[in-house]
Amino acid sequence: MDEKINKTETIESGEALASGQIAHASKAEVKSLAEKQNLLLWIMGGIVVVVVITFWMETNNMHINYVQDKSILLQNNQLNKDYFDKVLFLNNEVKDLKTQIEVLRARNPYLK
């Protein structure tokens, strides 16, 4: 009968010795351990919250950076398009001027 009582007390106190002896914890000790466990749970919960918030912020920043990079890429593409359009226009102008010079040379024998 004592063994059943001791086992019950052991389960309530949460402590047992390796040799099979039962250590009895006072209510103050049990309360102290419960407070320590609660404190550890709060700390772990806080760490989880910080990690989740940090992950969310970094994911959000990655999305913002992607949008900015895409915007910069589109601006760069537009600049390149404008540049090559201008180069093409100027090349056509140069060809037209060369053609006009050849026509003038053909008309005027003194320019040859």
- In order along its 112 residues, the chain shows pLDDT tens digits of 445 444 444 445 555 555 556 667 788 889 999 999 999 999 999 999 999 999 999 999 999 999 999 999 999 999 999 999 999 999 999 999 999 999 988 888 787 6
pLDDT of residue 108: 86
Cα–Cα distance measured from residue 53 to residue 69, given in angstroms and rounded to the nearest whole number? 24
Read off the DSSP letter of residue 102: H
Which pair of structure tokens corresponds to residue 104?
Answer: 């003038």
Give the pLDDT confidence score for residue 25 in this predicted structure: 77
Domain coordinates of the chain in residue numbers? 2-111
**And the tokens for 71?**
């915007």
Angle at 104 between CA 102 and CA 108, to 5 degrees: 120
